[in-house]
Amino acid sequence: MKRFRHSVIAATMVAVVLTTAACSRHVDDGGDAVGSSADSNACTSPIKTFKLAFNQTAEHPQYAAGITFGERLMEETGGCYDIEVYPNETLGTQASVLNNISDGSIELAWVAGGVMEPFNADFVVFNLPYVFDSIESEIATLNDHDGAMYDLEHSIEESKRITVLTGVTAGTRNVYNSTRPIKTPADMQGLKLRVQQSDSQVKMIELMGGVPTTLGLGEVYSALQTGTLDGAENNEVTWDAMSHDEVAKYYSYTRHLIMPDYLVASTNALEVMSEEHRAALMDLIPEVAQVANDGFADFTADSLAHAESIGALVNDDVDIDAFKAVLTPFTKESINNDARQKLYDAALANNELYPAK
């Protein structure tokens, strides 16, 4: 298994020669090669631009984190590598993008935790209801790259050629719909609700009383408009950013999921990089994750305020215990092997440190 994090190997003589030829010189306007210690990181070869696929808008904090990632990677590789972010499902749905990541035709993507399950079912742990008590607990767990998260992040490198670089918070997911406020599972009966392409989320909505429909995020607005869907489950940011609050105005704080998104990379693309450049990329990951996480809280507040300003109705008088009663058995029965138990135990330990506010 190729494992890139914190374990950069000494470059071979061939790699040194190639790196020196590509990135330790620049060419002046007359075509002469010029080199000096001051510009030893400059690239003469064409800049390699990684594509970063994203399914939401350019206002989202993960988009901003992707832009920061590109700018910083340019700096740290002396212009050898750049990143272009493609928002709004420009490169396809998350499921299709993951296939492109696997074959190397797309290098990077932000993807939801739910769509990782078909590649390794153990990703289900953090997609289960009421695993995390707080976003702080979630972030602490996801940041344990050398501990609880290590095996999961590298689990599909050999089989699918996908490396998980980091996880970030995607906020608290709640139910919204065009019909009525949700207070108990009884209020969910018969509502057709969009879920990600995830077996665990399909089961979750069924247990909550709804009728799950798997659909790409970009298709949800029109489905809500036409009545094909009654609603969905997601965070306040997505509800507002995708304009779902225009056609599904009831937002109810079921708090059933605190679920991660992942920044994933093509293992093939990482392997082609020199050891030096790959190390530079990996060293930037904590900074990129922090930009995404820090931006999410402010964006959530702004999204909620905007939704309410256009007439959306938010209710927090939800019987959480009633939802936990129908969902907790599903969560516990899904923790059915040692790998999942390790991840679940890490979440519970961080729940002790970062309880719900």
- pLDDT tens-place string over residues 2-25: 445 444 333 333 333 333 333 432
Please give the single-letter amino acid code of residue 259: M
Residue 173 pLDDT exceeds 60:
yes
Residues present in the chain in total: 357
Residue that has been written with the tokens 């969905």 in this structure: 232
In terms of Cβ atoms closer than 10 Å to its own Cβ (0-12, 13-18, 19+), residue 330 is middle
Distance of alpha carbon 120 from alpha carbon 127, whole angstroms:
13
pLDDT digits 0-9 by tens, 27-49: 333 333 333 223 445 786 668 99
Which domains does the chain carry?
13-353 (3.40.190.170)
Position 156 scores a pLDDT of 98
Average pLDDT over residues 291-297: 94
Task: Find tokens 């499902």 and name the residue.
Answer: 89
Can you tell me the mean pLDDT for 258-284?
A: 97
pLDDT digit string (tens) for 305-315? Answer: 999 999 999 99
pLDDT at 155 over 70: yes
Q: How far apart are CA 134 and CA 257, in angstroms?
A: 10
Segment 279-299 mean pLDDT: 96
Burial of 30 (C-beta count, 10 Å sphere; 0-12/13-18/19+): exposed
pLDDT in tens, 139-148: 999 999 999 9
99 has a pLDDT exceeding 50? yes
CB contact set of 89 (below 8 Å; sequence gap of 6+): 55, 216, 217, 218
